[in-house]
Amino acid sequence: MTGLFSREPKDPQKKKNVQKLREIKKLVKAKNYEKALKSGTEYLQKVPDNHDILFTVGGIYYLKKKYKTAIHYLDLALEIGTYDVDVLLLKAYSHQKLGDAKHIILCCDKIREIDPKNKAVSNLLGQLD
């Protein structure tokens, strides 16, 4: 029975989400990217709006040098967390690998709105010159 003072979490998937994220991060740490990617994408089919999993999958694609696919997942993560500096920075690095200066600047401008003193942004923009 669930009452006013129950200890049930508000999000019934929260515990599963946290466990799945830990599992995927453990696989990434062990550099088992294929298994982590498979697990992450399967999970996203069930829960497509999990910001952390989207970011992690995007990061794996970045590591695999599949920058366009990484950007796709990072864009999905940004739809949920518009002002996530880590996601924006990884997206900017992905655009850098693709040689897309216009999108690097857009990402960096957004990061500067949030964190004006971000050193990574200064370094990245400095490399454009």
Task: Specify the pLDDT at position 6.
Answer: 47
pLDDT tens, position by position, 68-109: 999 999 999 999 988 899 999 999 999 999 999 999 999 999
pLDDT(12) > 90: no
pLDDT(3) > 70: no
Single pTM value for the model: 0.84
pLDDT(16) > 80: no
Task: Specify the pLDDT at position 15.
Answer: 78
Torsion of CA 33, 104, 114, 123, to 10 degrees: 90
- Band the pLDDT of 1: cuts 50, 70, 90: very low
Ordered domains of the chain (ranges, CATH): 14-128 (1.25.40.10)
3-class state of residue 126 by DSSP: helix
Task: Give the Cα separation of 124 and 85 in Å (integer).
Answer: 14
pLDDT tens, position by position, 29-56: 999 999 999 999 999 998 888 899 999 9
Closest CA to 60 of 78, 86, 43, 40: 40
pLDDT(62) > 90: yes
